[in-house]
Amino acid sequence: MSVAFTDEQVRENLKNVYDPEIGVNIVDLGLVYDVDVADSGDVLVTMTLTSIGCPLGPVILQEVTGALQELPGVSEIDVKLVWSPPWSPDLMSEDAKDELGIW
């Protein structure tokens, strides 16, 4: 049995989660490194934060879980927070760079 959503739909839902300090969604910021959707409906998101000491990290992680719970047929949600490779502005999408005035 396959699930009713794809990796791309997971990423689209994650675009509703914004870094409150920067005001850009976590996908365009380049914080989401990988998304894995299992046939069982389990979702694993591998991501980072802009800094290890990000004071809003717990809030962002809670919002990630909330955004994924909206997917039809989702089972377990696991958010794996990694620090390697470290985040840098080079990981941002062109849209995010334009929005923040980074060239």
2 pLDDT higher than 70? no
pLDDT at 103: 72
Domain ranges (residues) in the chain: 7-88
3 pLDDT higher than 80? no
DSSP at 87: P
Burial class (CB in 10 A: 0-12, 13-18, 19+), 25: buried
Residues 6+ apart with CB under 8 A from 4: 71, 72, 73
pLDDT in tens, 52-72: 988 999 999 999 999 999 999
Q: Please, what CATH class does the domain formed by 7-88 belong to?
A: alpha beta
pLDDT band at 1 (very low <50, low <70, confident <90, very high): low
pLDDT in tens, 37-50: 999 999 999 999 99
99 vs 30, which has greater pLDDT? Answer: 30
Q: What average pLDDT does the chain have? A: 93
pLDDT band at 102 (very low <50, low <70, confident <90, very high): confident
